[in-house]
Amino acid sequence: MTPIGKSVDRVDGRLKVTGAAPYAADNNPPGLAYGYLVTSTVGRGVVTGMDTAAAAASPGVLAVYTPFNPLKLFAYGQEQNDERIPPLQDKEVRYFGQPIGFVVAESFEQARDAATLVRATYEQQPPVTAALAATHVEQTDEQPDTVLADGVSSFAQAFNAGDVTFTATYSTPVQHHCAMEPHATVAAWNGDHLTVYTVTQGVVLVVRRLSETLGIDAAKIHVFSPHVGGGFGGKWGNWAQVPLACAAAKALGRPVKAVLSREQVFAVAGHRPMTKQTISLACTADGTLTAISNDGVSGKSLAGNWSESVANWTLTTYASPNIRTSKTTMPMNLGAATVMRAPGEANGSFALESAMDELAGQLGMDPIALRLKNYATVVPNTGKAWSSKHLDECYRRGAEEFGWNARPAKPRATVEGDWLVGTGMGTATYGASRGQASTKVRLHADGTATVSGTAADLGTGQYTVFAILAADVLGIPVTRVRPELGDSASPTAANAGGSNSTCTNGPAVQVAAQAARAEIVKLATTNEKSPFYGKEVVYRDGSISSGGLTMSFGTLLTTCDVGSVEAVGTSPKLTDPDHAFRSFGAHFCEVRVHRWTGEPRVTRWLTYVDAGTIVNVKAARSQIQGAVVMGIGQALLEATEVDQATARFANGNLGSYLVPVHADIPPIDVRFLDHPDPLISGLGARGIGELGIVGVAGAIANAVYHATGVRVRELPITLEKLLDAV
C-alpha cells in the first residue's frame, strides 16, 4: 500500500508542538555574544557622523561597528532578491531603518540598550516615495511583450475593433511577509571554518552568499537550518544580520547571535512592492476576447534590484489573438523589495480576475462562462502546449459543488438580515518547473532509513514528503524513515522557492531510494555472511527474499555486521522545450458585507486544485488553506502604510499591520483533482505552495461587488471603501 496520495501526519509535528524543534535563534554555542542592529532614522541621505562613545562604554559592550568602523565585507556578486550592497560598507542611507551600526555585547539586552545610545548625524534629503516616484522617477525596466494576429498592425487597432471594450486600473499596496519566526543568525568560527545557524529558504543560498561576502571558500562554511518558522519569500535573500553576525564573530573570536526585532524585520528584511495595473480587454458580442493588455507598474527599492513583473500573468491566462503587456518600475527610498508568495502573480491575478468579472457584467454573461469561452488550450502568448491542464474541470466541478449555478446574475440581490451577501470566483494558475536535485538514502541495521538533502521545510510539509516518497520505494512504514533537511553538508537539493520543492526533490528522493535498494540487494548477494550469498533475490516491503527465506534489511545488515548502506541519487533538471508547465485551480467564495458598517466578512470558501499528483493530501490541503488565508489578508486587511514625508513604514509591526486571525477565516474546503502530470516527472507532481493565493483577492473583490454593487479596485478592500455605498 503506497503512502502517496494519502493523508499523513507531519513527521516533524510532535517536535514542533512540544517546542523541541530547534530554530536558528535556539542555538547557544559556548561563549556566545549578542549583536543588535542600529538603524537609520532618516529615509534618504548620508551619515555624516556617529557618536558611539556612550554605547561603547555601556555595560557588557564588546564592539560597536559602523560605516566609520566597519566589518569588512566584499560586494555581493550574485542576485538574491535582497540588498544590492552588504551592510555598513558605505555611508549612504537608502531607506528608513537601514542598518548603520551593529553593537555586540555579552547579552541581548545589553546590546539592545547600547544600540539606543548610538547617535548618528545625517545630511538629509527628501526621500523618494510613491507620490514623488510617480511623477519623477518612472523607469521602464523590461521590453513590452506583444503578440498580434496576422494582419493586425498595432494593439490599439485590435482593441478599438472590439464590439465591447473595457479598461480599468487596479492597485495594490506594499505588503509584508509576516512569518512568525523573526530573522535570526548564529555564527561560530573554529579556526577558519564557519558554522552558521540561520533562517533561510535554502542553506545553499547562505553558503554562496557568505562565501562571496566574507571572501572564504564555500567548503569552509557549514550552514544549518533544520526548522524555519515561515518564509513566504522573505527568507530567500540573506539580510543584514547574516553577514554581520559572521564577520563580528570572526573579529571578536566569539560566536555571535543576531536576532532582528519585529520592527527591524519590517524595515530590513524585504517586502512586496506596491503595484498598479491598467488592464484593457476587448471582445466580440458573444464574449470572445480579441485583445488583452496589461500595463504593469511595480515599486522598486533604491537599495535593491527586484520588482514585481505584475503584468506577466496576463500573458498566460486567457486566449486572445492580440496580447500586450508592459512593465514600468518606480524606484523609491524603501528597504529592498523582494519575492513574496506568488510574486507578480498574486497581484497580477487580482487585476485580471477583477477585470474579467467586470467584463462579464458588461456582457451580461456568467463569469465562469466567460472564462470557459476564452479557455487557453495552449499558452496564449507562445502557442506552446500545456503538459497537463484540467482547469476547466476545476471550474465545472467547483461551480457544481459550491452551488454557483443558483447565483443571481445581478449584484446586490441577496440580503440576509443586516448583511448583503455575494459570491465570487477567481482563477488560480502558477508556474511549475523541475530543477536538478540530489538526495541520499541510508538504510540502517535497526530497520530504519534516513533520507537527506539540503532542502528546507518552512512549515510546508517537505520533511513529510521526503519520508513518504522514501518509504514508498523502500516498502516500509513512513514512521521508519527519518528525513534530514537544512544541512549544507547534505547532497544539494532544491531550495524552498517558486513552489519547486516537491516537484524537484520528490523525484530525487525516489532515485536515491531506488539506489539504496540496489545497494542492499548487492550486500545480500555478495557479502559472505549473508544467507543470500550468491543467490537470486527479490526486494519487497523492506525485506530481501529468496526461495522460502525472507529477511528484513535491518536483520540482514545486522547479520552481515554492516552498520548501514547508502546511496546518493540525482534527478536531472527537466528540459522540455515543447511544453509549458503550470498548476491550476479555481476559487469560489461567499462574502457578506454589513449594511450599516460596511464590514466585509468572508463566510464560505471552496478551492479546486489541479496540480498533478498530490503526495500528502493532508499537508497539501494545509498549504492551499494557508495560501487562501494569506490571500484573504491581501484582499481585506494587509497594507504597509508608507509615511510620505519620512519614507518610514508607519505600521511596520504586528500590532498595526493587520493579518487575518482565526475569526476572519471561514472553513476552507480544498478539493484536489487527481491527474498526475506525466511530463513533469515520473512522480507527476507539480507545485502547490503559491498556487493557492493566486486568484483569491480577485474572487473576494468579485464577491464584494456581487454583494454590494461596489467595485473596489484598490486593495485592501476595507470598510471605508464600502461605507458610502452600503
**Catalytic residue annotation:** 690
Beta-bridged to residue 221, according to DSSP, are 194
For the bound state, the minimum distance from the C-beta of residue 232 to ligand MOS, rounded and expressed in Å, comes to 6
Q: How far is the CB of 589 from ligand MOS (least distance, A)?
A: 23
Nearest to 294 by CA among 252, 272, 270, 322: 322
DSSP at 182: P
Nearest-angstrom CA–CA distance, 246 and 256: 7
Give the nearer residue to ligand MOS in terms of CB position, either 34 or 236. Answer: 236
Instruction: List the Cα angle 147/274/458 in 5-degree steps.
Output: 95
Q: For 112, what's the count of Cα atoms within 13 Å in the CB-facing half-sphere?
A: 9
CB atoms within 10 A of CB 662: 6
The footprint of ligand MOS on this chain (CB under 6 A) covers a number of residues equal to: 10
Residue 233 is a binding residue for ligand MOS (CB under 6 A): yes
Residues 661-690 that bind ligand MOS (CB under 6 A): 690
Q: Indicate whether 339 belongs to the interface with ligand MOS (CB under 6 A).
A: yes
The residue (of 162 and 234) whose beta carbon lies closer to ligand MOS is: 234
Which whole-number Å values give the CA distances from 571 to 294, 424, 472, 515, in the listed order? 38, 41, 17, 12
3-state secondary structure 213-244: HHCCCHHHEEEECCCCCCCCCCCCCCCCHHHH
Alpha-carbon gap, residue 297 to 327, rounded angstroms? 6
Q: How far is the CB of 341 from ligand MOS (least distance, A)?
A: 5
CB-nearer residue toward ligand MOS: 200 or 607: 200
Near ligand MOS in 198-227, by CB under 6 A: 201
Residue in 100, 89, 46 with CA at minimum distance from that of residue 264? 100
CB closer to ligand MOS, 86 vs 231: 231
| Beta pairing, strands 33-39 & 99-105 | antiparallel
**507 in Cβ contact with 683 (< 8 Å):** yes
Nearer to ligand MOS, 244 or 340 (CB): 340
What Cα–Cα distance (Å) separates residue 368 from each residue in 371, 408, 426? Answer: 5, 14, 9
Least distance from ligand MOS to the Cβ atom of residue 329, Å: 18
The 358-387 contact track toward ligand MOS, x by CB under 6 A, reads ------------------------------
Is 623 a binding residue for ligand MOS by CB under 6 A? The answer is: no
Under the binding rule (CB under 6 A), the answer on residue 341 touching ligand MOS is: yes
Q: Which residues of 473-486 are buried (b: 16+ CB within 10 A; e: fewer)?
A: bbbbebebbbbbbb
Query: Per-residue x/- marks for ligand MOS, 686-715, CB under 6 A?
Result: ----x-------------------------
Applying CB under 6 A, does 494 fall inside the site for ligand MOS? no
Among 64, 340, 470, 512, binds ligand MOS (CB under 6 A): 340
Nearest to 91 by CA among 51, 38, 49: 49
Please say which residue, 270 or 426, places its beta carbon nearer to ligand MOS: 270
| Coil, helix or strand at residue 629 | helix
Cell of 284: 466580440
Site string for ligand MOS, 174-203 (x = CB under 6 A): ---------------------------x--
Give burial (CB, 10 Å; 0-12/13-18/19+) of 61. buried
Q: Minimum CB separation from ligand MOS for residue 523, in Å?
A: 41
Contact flag: residue 631 with ligand MOS (CB under 6 A): no
Determine the interface stretch with ligand MOS among 336-344, 345-353, 413-421, 583-591 (rule: CB under 6 A).
336-344
Q: Which residue reads 512586496 in cell numbers?
A: 272
Comparing CA positions, the residue from 292, 351, 45 lying closest to residue 159 is 292
CB of 199 to ligand MOS, least distance (A): 13
For ligand MOS, give the closer residue by CB, 194 or 206. 206
Please identify which residue in 97, 304, 497, 687 interacts with ligand MOS, judged by CB under 6 A: 497
Which is closer to ligand MOS, CB of 323 or CB of 340?
A: 340
Mask 235-274, x = binds ligand MOS (CB under 6 A)? -x--------------------------------------
Between strands 414-416 and 33-39, the pairing is unpaired
Residue nearest to ligand MOS (CB): 233
CA distance 357 to 377: 21
Q: Is 343 in the site for ligand MOS (CB under 6 A)?
A: yes
Question: Are 58 and 113 contacting, i.e. CB atoms less than 8 angstroms apart?
Answer: yes
Residue 82 or 113: which CB sits closer to ligand MOS? 82
Which residues contact ligand MOS by CB under 6 A? 201, 233, 236, 339-341, 343, 497-498, 690
